[in-house]
Structure 1
């Protein structure tokens, strides 16, 4: 495996796992404090996501030997970071809602109307889709902020 392949796999995995830890810690803290049902506090999940996607992009820029990193490579690293962190968090959430805290799942089913019966898997799927959309948007914005400046040739 080349150094480039190793970098593009280890950075997203490491930061995705840290993102997972941050999301789980925040979720459990909100459950303990009793604020898990205040849904607007979920916006702090975006702050956690942005922090670790930013860290992935900056880590790649530091470790890469390329003087100009392509948008595609940085986007791939960002999306992989989000996929690892959010995908595993959605898995954790499905297990948590189905096995650990069934009363929270029952409260969620009563308070939220999704046009049908909500299950732990459907709730986790919604969190995954919502998180990935946020991750894609955050990735695009962060890449624009951190991309290398190019010099255009004068005509």
Structure 2
């Protein structure tokens, strides 16, 4: 389970970083609301994790092991993406700090310890979203009659 979750966590992080670079390239990285699409990428990663777990087990797998795999995927992806964003903002472009400081969720805390606040906000967003997405996805994958499409 851990190998599958780590694999898809890494791929999800690559997807999140790629999405960030696309948004940066087209000039939309300052629109905070577009971070919602990070949840779509995370959802794809978690569903792929559960699909891979179902294929590897070749039978019904436990509900808690599926939740654990989904949670591990979101933690791995979020840690890598948060670390990337922290390094990117500190090294290359601190203009995102201004955008985040105007966000009512983060607010004035960015000015005191920007690195820690950004890392924690991204971690909370990713891990909480990942836990909810994993719970929802497991409602579908827990059914014994659910078969993975294109499985041998």
Match of 2:52 in 1: 59
RMSD of Structure 2 on Structure 1 (CA) = 1.5
Aligned residue in 2 for 1:124: 119
Aligned residue for 2:29?
Answer: 36
1 CA distance for matches of 2:76 and 2:52?
A: 16
TM-score by length of structure 2 reads: 0.86
- CA-CA distance at 1:115 after TM superposition: 4.8
1:48 to 41, 48, 56: 41
Instruction: Give runs of ≥4 in structure 1 deviating > 4 Å.
Output: none
- Contact residue 98 and residue 105 of structure 1 kept, 8 A: no
1:137 aligns with 2:137: no
Q: Which residue of 2 aligns with 1:102?
A: 94
The count of corresponding residues between Structure 1 and Structure 2 is 141
Among 11, 18, 26, the residue aligned to 1:18: 11
Asked whether the equivalents of residues 86 and 132 of structure 1 are also in contact (C-alpha less than 8 Å), the reply is yes
Q: Which of the two has higher C-alpha Rg?
A: 1
Q: Secondary structure at the match of 1:144?
A: helix
Structure 1 stretches of 5 or more lacking a match?
A: 1-7, 151-155
- Partners of 1:86 and 1:33 in 2: CA distance: 23
In structure 2, the residue matched to 1:71 is 63
